[in-house]
Amino acid sequence: MTSPRTSRRRQFGDLLMVAPLALFLGTMVLVPLVIAVLSSVGMTTVAPGLTGEFTLQGFREFFDPTKPSLAALWFTFKVTLVTTAISTGLGLALALFMRFRRIALGQVMSFLVKIPLFMPYLVTAFVFWVLLYPKGYIGILTHKLLVEYLALVEQAPALISDPLGIGIIVCGSWMRFPYAFVIIHGLLQMIDPSYEEAARTLGARTGRIVRRVYLPLVGYGLLSVALLNFLALFIAFSIPFVLGASWPQFLSVFIYVNAKDQGNWLAGYTASVVYIVIALAIATFYTRALQRAKTHA
């Protein structure tokens, strides 16, 4: 038990420790954020086409169902969700596999798995273009498999510039699964193996151990990875720019084409504000979950 005085002192100490971060966020994030919000209602002149006068036209156009922006938002959300699930799931599966099989992450593997983290985004996007297009290795393989051997279809589906976003999903999953793996594997290493042994002696099977022992323990990490992957893919630009379709457009590409090429910065900033609102909503959910994770862990 701590006395109120110690508790107050502690709280003050905590504030002091958070202060550098708060100061940094306050200057480097809050300022551009305020500028972005003001720009989305036309009230700055930071970019060409912004007049400095208040207008809600950007939001009216963004939420106009006849315009492509809402469809772009929905498409972006769907594709991002699928990619997050695949990349996080893959990372988790691999980390658990290595844990159960007691495979030591040797130097080579530990080195290999980090490669996607250091591939320049644009190069990655372009490499997947040449892998997935009909004359690329994956393109040829898909054709041979679906058309020639299984004879399921007459023509293999387009893997790039396709309306389902297959190219984006494949490339995004490749880029993000190491993040999931690295964090979850690291957290699993911190768990005492005696937990698993105890569960096993009590007769628990692998599935139950995963659900009852590991998932609660790495819950926070998993959530955090999923959030990071979701947000990183949500605003990704290079991948959808190279691999995306003409319809539906990825929101970041929509912003780029509208703002940079056509000079419609009102639309650009409106979409940015929509992005940020979604991020804040997710962050709130995340902070709540964190509090819960802290009490459960």
Partner 1 sequence: MARKTKGPAGGREGGVDIQRPQLARRGFIRAAGTAALSLTALGHVGREARAAAFRPDLTMEANPNPPSAYPKWFPSWSEVEQLARKEGQVQVSAWGSAEAKEMFNKLCTQFERKTGIKAVYRHGDWFAAQQQVLNEVKEKKEQGSIDAIFLWGKPFSNLMQGGGVWEVPILDLLPNARKIAYRPELGRFVHDMVPTYGCFVPQINYQDCFVYDRKKYKPSDMPKSVDGVLDWAKRHKGKFTYCDVNKGGSGHTWVMMLIYALTGGYEKYAFRPFSKEVAAKDWKPLWDYLKELEPYMYRPGTYPQGNNAVAQLFSAEEIDFCPNWDGTMAQEVRGGRLDPDRLGMIVPEPGIFSPCDGFTIPANAAHKAAALLFLDYLVSVEAQMEVPRVMASYPVVTEAWDKLPEKERQQPWHPVQNLREWRDLGRMGARHGEYMFQMMTEWVDRIARK
Partner 2 sequence: MRRHRAQRWANHAVLGLVALLILLPVFVVFEYAFATKWFPAHWWFPQEFGMRWFERLLGLGNIVNAMINSYMIAAIVAVTTLLVTFPAAYVFGARTRRGDSRLIRLVEGFSSVPLAFPTIAVGIGLLPVYAKLGLLSSLPGVVAAHMIMAVPYALRAMVGSFIMVPPEYEEAARNLGAGRFYVLRRIYLPLVWPGVMAGGIFAFSWSLNEFVLVLLLGYPNIETIPVQIYQFVGGYYLHPQQAAALGLFLLVPTLALMFLVERTVRGSTVVPAGA
Does residue 47 bind partner 2 (CB under 8 A)?
yes
Give the three-state DSSP class for 30: helix
Contacts to partner 1 from residues 110-129, by CB under 8 A = 129
- For partner 1, give the closer residue by CB, 225 or 255: 255
Tokens of 215: 């998932």
CA 100/CA 214 separation, integer angstroms? 11
Does residue 244 bind partner 1 (CB under 8 A)?
yes
- For partner 2, give the closer residue by CB, 75 or 275: 275
* Number of Cβ within a 10 Å radius of residue 79: 24
Contacts to partner 1 from residues 49-108, by CB under 8 A = 66-68, 71
Q: 151: part of which helix (H) or strand (E)?
A: none
| The one segment of 78-86, 194-202, 221-229, 257-265 that binds partner 1 by CB under 8 A | 257-265
- Contact mark string toward partner 1, 137..156, x via CB under 8 A: ------------------x-
Does residue 81 bind partner 2 (CB under 8 A)?
no
Provide the residue type at 67 as one letter.
K
Task: Indicate the angle between helix axes 121-132 and 166-189, nearest 10 degrees.
Answer: 120
Select from 5, 101, 102, 135 the one that contacts partner 1 (CB under 8 A).
135
CB 73, CB 84: distance < 8 Å: no
CB 109, CB 182: distance < 8 Å: no
Residues that bind partner 1 (CB under 8 A): 45, 47-48, 66-68, 71, 129-130, 133-135, 155, 158, 160-163, 241-249, 257, 260-263
